Structure 1
Amino acid sequence: MRLRLPRVPLYRRLVRPLLFLFPPELAHGVTSWLLRRKLARVAIRVRAFSYPLSSPVLSTQIAGLNISSPVGLAAGYDKNCEEVAPLMDLGFGYVVGGTVMYSPQPGNPAPRLTRISREESMINSMGFPSKGVGAVQRILRGERKRPKPLVISVSGHTQEEMLACHAAMEPFSDAIEINISSPNTASLKVFRELAAFAELLEKANAMRSKPLFIKLPFYSDPLGQERVLGLVRIARDKGLDGVTASNASLVSAPMMATGWGGLSGRALFKDTLRIVKEVRAEAGESMVVNGLGGIFTAEDAFSVLEAGADTIQLLTGLVYEGPGIAAALNRGLAELFHSKNISSVTELTRCARIRTSTDTLTESLRESRIPV
């Protein structure tokens, strides 16, 4: 009798061990360079033609944008929007490029990125390295028509920089995501104060013509919860299209030049489920919630959608699972939908919203000491 060994994808068996011989920033640079080669794009498209990367059951809409899958690529992989088209060809329903800053800046000193392989996680203290809006505009101006929505993440050290970056990048995007939550940029803390946040949104609303999302900070304690849910409440009341929950978790990192960094990857998954549920309860039924943090499998993605997210985003999973992760999640989600008799993403997310609203009402009644 032959022993059948589990099939290990080529990336994990061969490519990842080779890439992980190099420092993470260098490995990322190599993969980004390869993605920009014409031969790589042809190979990706041939594979996509031979093996469909998504399923009609996964098509959905967020903030008026049609997406082929609820699986999105989070900001941080393609900081200057140089690999948007090939990344879309991998099966992502949408891509978040950036974070783009108004002026060019190098970010924090190295070392500023490390892997925690035993936990399939990473710590970064990048500090928004960016070529600036002028360079990113030139890159995107030379693009052909995009097959899927591009959301551009923008930020700044001041309100004026954020708004200027928003105005500069909106014509090149399908939506904007303002990043107020990077744990590696001290100047962003002011935008997590409710008054400053409300003022930022009022000014952004006055100038925008496309959907706007806010990337929320990670939290793990009651004080953080109160602050972040306060931001969600303001975003909802100001009529924002949605929020992304959430960014990396600030941790001590002696191996970094800064001494600290943002933890991402599998280590955050349980927190992601908790945060998405709480954010959805505060956001109500009308706002889009994008769930982000530690999503590696179709089961992970389904759980986050079931918790109240409209879409999921991933980044560290791409590093550990390779370029096939979006297609694998799409196939797995389609199979889960079929096995659970779910006809669409909308059906799943609608049920999650109703359940969250019911749970919130029940909790309010309990707090009011009304029998339930």
Structure 2
Amino acid sequence: MALLLNPNTYRDLIRPLLFRLPPETAQKLADEALRLTPVWKLLEPYLEYAHLSLRTTVAGIDMRSPIGLAAGYDKDCERLESLAALGFGYVVGGTVTLSPRTGNPSPRILRYERQESLVNSLGFPGKGVGNATMRLAGSNGPARVPAVVSVSGETISEIVACHRELEPLASAIEVNISSPNTAGLRAFHDMGALTELLTAVNADRKRPLFVKMPPFPQAGGSRDDDDARKLVLGLAGVCVDQGVDALTIANTRPVREPQLAVGVGGLSGRLVYRDMLRMVSDTRAAVGNSIAINACGGVFSGRDAWNALLAGADTVQLLTALIYQGPGVVRSINRQLALMVSLNGLTSVSEIAQLPREATA
């Protein structure tokens, strides 16, 4: 069993077979495997790495680990129980939209295998909020693992409607204002528009609220890029003022990619890791300790997670690493992270941010 779930076994034996298939075909095969929820629950003791030092609390939500599944894998919240069994501290389902969407035309996912990265131009394909509500209401729920649901839309009314339907069924809602593949979302990159959106969401909300932020431009850019960076930090300030509980930093980086049908997409994986660390560090410096941060982008190892927490994050979200390293990746990261906590004389991952930035193990 240990051999089967070892990341090296997946990398050397299973991944080469899956990667012979188009990305969305491989995803469908993985989804079929995840339908076997009782099997994954039986495997959970082999996939989980439990240690007291990994336990943490964010926005009043208790988590067995700071390692979460990012939105985008289970768009319709149909496999969250199986995904929770992989050892995550929390899982994010979605992104869910008000109405069903087909998304962008194919091809819309491209692998950069050597860099362990992906570019996607999916455009929020999904079955809509009605299906997600039915799925979440009908599940037993990942008993020990909080389920966050990502929602989005191109208007305030769409997002508020999704939030209202799904909040009673989730531990928290994550509002996605930043997909590079959905042009309408850029309206909420305006501080006034974001204030209006969050005011509307706050009118009804009873549970924690996360906001998924757009990325900074890459380091070393133009003056316009510096202005864009300041805008993102300004949006973070709006979230603080509106009582948002956590920022997810950040969404995929927009890139041109002619092999995709629409010619552009969002980059994820190892290629965005350094930029993610800079965004987390700069945002933490700007907002202080007034809000939690979920680091999202290029985390593949315990050391990667350590560096994100050291930069100022409270939790870490991953998705691309799951695709490249398989179901054993979360256990591997948690085991490495617990060891680094111990070697640095700490008792909890929540203490990492108090260390000097150069601290390592």
Same fold (TM over 0.5): yes
In the TM superposition, residue 13 of structure 1 has moved relative to its aligned partner by 1.0
- Alpha-carbon RMSD across the aligned residues, in angstroms, is 1.4
In the TM superposition, residue 62 of structure 1 has moved relative to its aligned partner by 0.1
1:122-171 deviation per Cα after TM superposition (whole angstroms, max 9, x unaligned): 00000000111111111111111422111100000111101111111111
Contact 1:184 1:261 in 2 (8 A): yes
Q: How does 1:253-264 map to 2 (within 5 A)?
A: 253-264=257-268
| Aligned counterpart, 1:134 | 130
How many Å separate the matches in 2 of 1:135 and 1:39? 22
How many Å separate the matches in 1 of 2:316 and 2:349? 12
| Aligned counterpart, 1:297 | 301
1:44 aligns with 2:39: no
| Aligned counterpart, 1:368 | none
Task: Name the SS of the counterpart of 2:203 in structure 1.
Answer: helix
1:77 aligns with 2:67: no
In the TM superposition, residue 101 of structure 1 has moved relative to its aligned partner by 0.3
Which residue, 192, 197, 205 being the options, matches 1:195?
A: 192
| Aligned counterpart, 1:317 | 321
Unaligned runs of 5+ in 2: 1-5, 218-224
In the TM superposition, residue 238 of structure 1 has moved relative to its aligned partner by 1.4
**Structure whose CA Rg is larger:** 1
| Aligned counterpart, 1:212 | 209
TM-score (ref. length: structure 1): 0.90
Which residue, 67, 79, 82 being the options, matches 1:86?
A: 82
How many Å separate the matches in 2 of 1:8 and 1:66? 27
How many Å separate the matches in 2 of 1:76 and 1:264? 11
How many Å separate the matches in 1 of 2:53 and 2:156? 41
1:301-335 deviation per Cα after TM superposition (whole angstroms, max 9, x unaligned): 00000000000000111111111111110000001
| Aligned counterpart, 1:164 | 161
Contact 1:63 1:211 in 2 (8 A): yes
| Aligned counterpart, 1:112 | 108
How many Å separate the matches in 2 of 1:253 and 1:45? 38
Contact 2:44 2:87 in 1 (8 A): no
1:121 aligns with 2:117: yes
Amino acid at match of 1:251: V
1:204-227 deviation per Cα after TM superposition (whole angstroms, max 9, x unaligned): 111100000100001123122111
Contact 2:199 2:242 in 1 (8 A): yes
Q: Give the length in aligned residue pairs.
A: 344
| Aligned counterpart, 1:251 | 255
Contact 2:67 2:330 in 1 (8 A): yes
1:226 aligns with 2:249: no
Moved over 2 A (4+): 45-48
% of aligned pairs identical? 46
In the TM superposition, residue 251 of structure 1 has moved relative to its aligned partner by 0.5
1:94-125 deviation per Cα after TM superposition (whole angstroms, max 9, x unaligned): 00000000111111111100100011100000
1:66-102 deviation per Cα after TM superposition (whole angstroms, max 9, x unaligned): 0000000000011011110111111100000000001
Amino acid at match of 1:33: E
Task: Name the SS of the counterpart of 1:295 in structure 2.
Answer: coil
How many Å separate the matches in 1 of 2:83 and 2:286? 32
How many Å separate the matches in 2 of 1:260 and 1:44? 39
Contact 2:37 2:82 in 1 (8 A): no
| Aligned counterpart, 1:152 | 149
| Aligned counterpart, 1:276 | 280
How many Å separate the matches in 2 of 1:207 and 1:46? 38
Distance 1:342 1:15, change over 3 A: same
Amino acid at match of 1:31: A
How many Å separate the matches in 1 of 2:69 and 2:213? 16
How many Å separate the matches in 2 of 1:248 and 1:47? 31
Q: How does 1:87-102 map to 2 (within 5 A)?
A: 87-102=83-98
Unaligned runs of 5+ in 1: 1-6, 357-372
